[in-house]
Homo-oligomer: A and B are copies of this chain.
Amino acid sequence: MVMPLKKITEVGLIERFAKALKPCDPSVVVSIGDDAAVVRGAKGCYRLYTVDMLVEGTHFKKGESYKKVGYKAMAVSISDIAAMGGEPQYALISVGLPKKNAQTEAQKLFKGAASCARKFNVDVIGGDTNCSSKLVIDCFVAGKVEEKNLALRSGAKPGDHIFVSGLLGGSILGKHLTFEPRLKEARFLVKNFKVTSMIDLSDGLGVDLNRLSYASALGAIIFEDRIPMARGVKKIKNALFDGEDFELLFTLSPEDSFRLLRMMKKNKFAMSFYQIGRMTDFFSGVRMMTRENKVEEVGCDGFKHF
């Protein structure tokens, strides 16, 4: 069985209140429960809204470079917009920071956030700064996506092939502060293929494949020997459960999958996509075929042996 939502979202309390917060306005296309909220915009476009908060001690260590923390805050939200197939446009940044050297530290924080924003053509148009004993930064990003290019978590079909956009695991050793949101890759995909579902890997392939499967009301099977592992990562559990990879996890129909793989073979390709499995029916759950040809259930906190 696919993990029940309440087990999946230990980290996403707000999703439990989604029902109570059901939107009233018909302009809301997707509310709580995807990488970003979707509302109707102008000229065949949707508007996208997302927010991510980073807290000292949870998302980065005390004493971490403020510039890197600022960069990460912006990158995490841009990654959410990418996972919807969209383009980020505007950002607002809220910061709570310790009084000591507040101005110097704030400058570093905004410098980091602005460097990431500039790289992805995002304008920082507002924010709020406050005193707080521990550093906290919350980054809101608004974006847009053509209606036909919107990619949700919920659209995968049985038999669709599952892909990831890069190497997994070990992000906590440093990459989580410097990663590049897969915006270019996501835009390439939605413009050239029918991306049936997509999510960014914030909590690890194990958790996020369960999220995508649950949203699509399907199961999934992935193959251990196809999962691309980051340099230095030796154990499959790190590739699945370390989290903060911020790679794209997405599905394509078998036809589109073959077309993508052919394109990658033919051309000099600056992007990497790895086909790691396929979607199955809901009741077979989320599973992995090991190198020893054993089938294991992939939970949110580890494997369960049958």
Contacts and interface: CB of A to CB of B under 8 A. Distances in A.
Contact of A49 (B27, B114, B142): B142
- Copies assembled: 2
A140 B92 contact: yes
Interface in A91-132: 92-96, 102-103, 106-107, 110-111, 114, 121, 123-132
A50 B126 contact: yes
A267 interface: no
Nearest to A92: B51
A122 to B, nearest CB: 9
B130 A55 contact: yes
Nearest to A23: B123
A239 B42 CA distance: 44
A292 interface: no
A235 to B, nearest CB: 26
Contacts of A92: 37, 49-51, 140
Contacts of A126: 14, 31-32, 36-37, 49-51
Contacts of A49: 90, 92, 125-126, 140, 142
Contacts of A130: 11, 53-55, 58-59
Scoring A17, A93, A131 by chain B CB atoms within 10 A of each residue's CB, the highest score goes to: A17
Contacts of A16: 103
Contact of A125 (B13, B31, B103, B125): B31
B129 A12 contact: yes
Contacts of A58: 130-132
A244 interface: no
B128 A28 contact: no
Given A50-B126, A142-B142, A42 B42 contact: yes
A102 B32 contact: no
Interface of A: 11-14, 16-17, 20-21, 23-25, 27-28, 31-32, 36-37, 39, 41-43, 49-55, 57-59, 89-90, 92-96, 102-103, 106-107, 110-111, 114, 121, 123-134, 136, 138, 140, 142
